[in-house]
Structure 1
Amino acid sequence: MLTIYGVYRSRASRNYWLADELGLPFVSVPVIQAYRLDDAAAPDAPLNTQSPEFLAVNPTGLIPCIDDGGFVMTESLAINLYLARKRGGALAGQTIAEDAEMMQWTMWAATEVEPHAVKIIMLRDKKDAESEQGRLTIRAANKALKRGFARLDAQLAATGWVVGKRFTVADLNLAEIFRYAMSQTELFDAAPNVKDWLERCQSRPSFKAMMEKRQHEPE
């Protein structure tokens, strides 16, 4: 049985979404980020990323983490590539070349897009976003993201999806990263193929199911 450690309001959302897409049964062990707690070491603190019980599973103290029949793995995007590859089917690569493309696009998004997009999502409310520092942060992030949006837009114009002209784990991985920038409508207006693609990804029942559970978790 697959065990996923994390909460839906974290990068574990990527793994919960994929597990549902693949029809994988799993056990969810809620592990909250320690920084969200006033005292993560308090006797009555919920299981969190600094809890000894969790550190025994994942010494890095980060979520998500999976235990797949004794095989423990971290890093949400890598976990998804592993689960898709293990399960097979249309979401996985059908050839070595497709596997390589999925890894390439995932690593590109993780290194070239997410570092900038995450700065936007970390501005958690309107007050933060409209502060002088918030406006500067958003302006710099938008500038850095334009090239990435343009690259993905060109790929989608040619193929409709990231790899193999069908929805795959690569689309899911990238969609969860590009979601961080959804508040920046000008980026999506300038990349209509990205805008349409993200809407198609997020229209999938498994995404909606994941988001519903995410929205019911405390912020």
Structure 2
Amino acid sequence: MLTIYGVSRSRASRNFWLLNELDLEFEHVPVIQAYRLPDPAAESAPFNTQSPGFLSISPAGAVPVLRDGDFVLSESLAMNLYIAGKAGGPLAPANARETALMEQWALYGATSIEAHALAILYAHSEGRAKSPEGEAEIAAEVARLRRPLGVLNSHLRDHGHVVGGRFTVADINMAEIVRYAHAEPGLIAGYPAIAEWLAACHARPGFKAMWEKRLAEPA
């Protein structure tokens, strides 16, 4: 059985969403991010990313992490590709070309979209969005997103989904990256194909179940 180390308020949300879609049983070991704790080394601290027991699994001290027998894998996007590939079915790549395309889009999302979308999210969540400095930061990140979101919008307009013309793990990976940009009102609406696709992704029961658990976790 697969074991997932992490919490829903982390990039493990991608993995939990996929596991919901696949209806796979798995073991969940909650591991909270050390930066969210006043003293992660305290005796009373919950199991966290700086706990020796977790560092023995993940020397990088980051969640999520997957364990499958004696195989350990980190990085949420790679974990999802592994889970889907092992499970098979319509969410997995159907052939080597689809495998390559799913890897391509995961890398594109991670390198061209995620950091800028996260910067926008943090500006809002940390209360800086309405300050002159925050507004300038968000405007700069929105400008940096214009090209990659335009590329994704054109692709979704022409194909409907990220890979294979059907809902797959590639959609989950990309949707969880693009979701961060939702923090800026009106940004996603400026890319109609992305907006329609993301709404459909978020309407899926697998996402809703993950999101309900995420909201139930302490912030």
Tell me the TM-score range normalised by the shorter chain: over 0.9
How far 1:133 moved relative to its partner?
2.2
What residue is the counterpart of 1:201 in the other structure? 201
What residue is the counterpart of 1:67 in the other structure? 67
Structure 1 counterpart of 2:161, one-letter code: W
Structure 2 counterpart of 1:213, one-letter code: K
What residue is the counterpart of 1:162 in the other structure? 162
What residue is the counterpart of 2:44 in the other structure? 44
How far 1:199 moved relative to its partner?
0.2
Q: Percent identity?
A: 52
How far 1:58 moved relative to its partner?
1.1
Q: Is the 8 A contact 1:161 1:167 kept in 2?
A: yes
How far 1:125 moved relative to its partner?
3.2
Structure 2 counterpart of 1:10, one-letter code: S
What residue is the counterpart of 1:177 in the other structure? 177
1:50-85 deviations in Å (ceiling 9; x for gaps):
001111111110000011122110000000011111
Distance in 2, Cα, partners of 1:127 & 1:106: 30
1:160-212 deviations in Å (ceiling 9; x for gaps):
11111100111000000000001224332221000000000000001000000
What residue is the counterpart of 2:93 in the other structure? 93
How far 1:46 moved relative to its partner?
0.3
What residue is the counterpart of 2:210 in the other structure? 210
What residue is the counterpart of 2:150 in the other structure? 150
Distance in 2, Cα, partners of 1:199 & 1:57: 36
Distance in 2, Cα, partners of 1:103 & 1:70: 24
TM-score normalised over the length of structure 1: 0.97
How large is the Cα RMSD of the aligned pairs? 1.1
TM-score normalised over the length of structure 2: 0.97
Structure 1 counterpart of 2:36, one-letter code: R
Q: Is the 8 A contact 1:149 1:187 kept in 2?
A: no
1:64-143 matches, cutoff 5 A: 64-125=64-125, 127-143=127-143
Change (3 A) 1:205 1:60: same
Distance in 2, Cα, partners of 1:179 & 1:59: 28
Structure 1 counterpart of 2:218, one-letter code: P
Name structure 1 gaps, 5 residues minimum: none
SS of the residue corresponding to residue 128 of structure 1 reads coil
Structure 2 counterpart of 1:193, one-letter code: A
Distance in 2, Cα, partners of 1:126 & 1:52: 30
How far 1:126 moved relative to its partner?
7.1
Q: Number of matched residues?
A: 219
How far 1:150 moved relative to its partner?
0.8
Change (3 A) 1:40 1:124: farther
